[in-house]
Amino acid sequence: MKYRHLAWFAAGLTLCVIILGGYVRLSDAGLGCPDWPGCYGHLAWPNEAHEIEKANATFTERAVEVGKAWREMVHRYLATILGMVAIALVVWAYRRRHLESYTLPSIILLVVIFQGMLGMWTVTWKLHPSIVMSHLIGGLTVLSLLVWLACSRTPSMTPYRYAGHVKQWMVVVGTGLLMLQIALGGWTSANYAALACVGFPQCNGVWWPEMDFVQALDIFKKYGPDYEFGVKDGPARMAIQMMHRIGAVVVTLYFAWLIFKLTRNRELMPLGLSLLLLLVIQITLGIINVTYSLPLLVATLHNGVAALLMANMVMLLYKTRKTE
114 C-beta neighbours (distance < 10 Å), count: 14
Grade residue 324 by pLDDT with cuts at 50, 70 and 90: low
Q: pLDDT value at position 12?
A: 97
Q: How many CB atoms lie within 10 A of CB 91?
A: 13
Concatenating the DSSP letter of every residue in 11-27 gives HHHHHHHHHHHHHHHHT
Pick the residue with more confidence: 221 or 96?
96
The whole-angstrom separation of Cα 300 and Cα 304 is 6
% of the chain with per-residue pLDDT over 70: 96
Per-residue pLDDT at 323: 64
151 pLDDT higher than 80: yes
pLDDT in tens, 160-212: 776 567 888 999 999 999 999 999 999 999 999 988 988 889 998 899 999 99
Helix (H) or strand (E) holding 185, with range, is: helix 168-190
Q: Choose the catalytic residue: 48, 65, 72, 100.
A: 72
What is the per-residue pLDDT for 90? 95
Question: What pLDDT is recorded for position 166?
Answer: 84
DSSP SS3 for 206:
strand
For 272-305, write each residue's pLDDT tens digit: 999 999 999 999 999 999 999 899 999 999 999 9
Query: What is the reported pLDDT for 165?
Result: 75
**Angle at 131 (CA atoms; ends 42, 84), nearest 5 degrees:** 55
Q: Is the pTM of this model over 0.95?
A: no
Q: What is the mean pLDDT of residues 68-81?
A: 95
161 in Cβ contact with 268 (< 8 Å): no
Task: Read off the pLDDT band of 97 (50, 70, 90).
Answer: confident
Among this protein's residues, is 48 annotated catalytic? no
What is the pLDDT at residue 283? 96
Q: What is the pLDDT of residue 162?
A: 65
The chain-wide mean pLDDT, for the chain, equals 91
> pLDDT tens-digit profile of 222-266?
666 777 788 888 899 999 999 999 999 999 999 999 999 999 888
Identify the CA nearest to 62 among candidates 22, 29, 21.
Answer: 29
| CA–CA distance, 172 with 113 (Å, rounded to integer) | 26
Task: Identify the residue with better confidence: 279 or 53.
Answer: 279
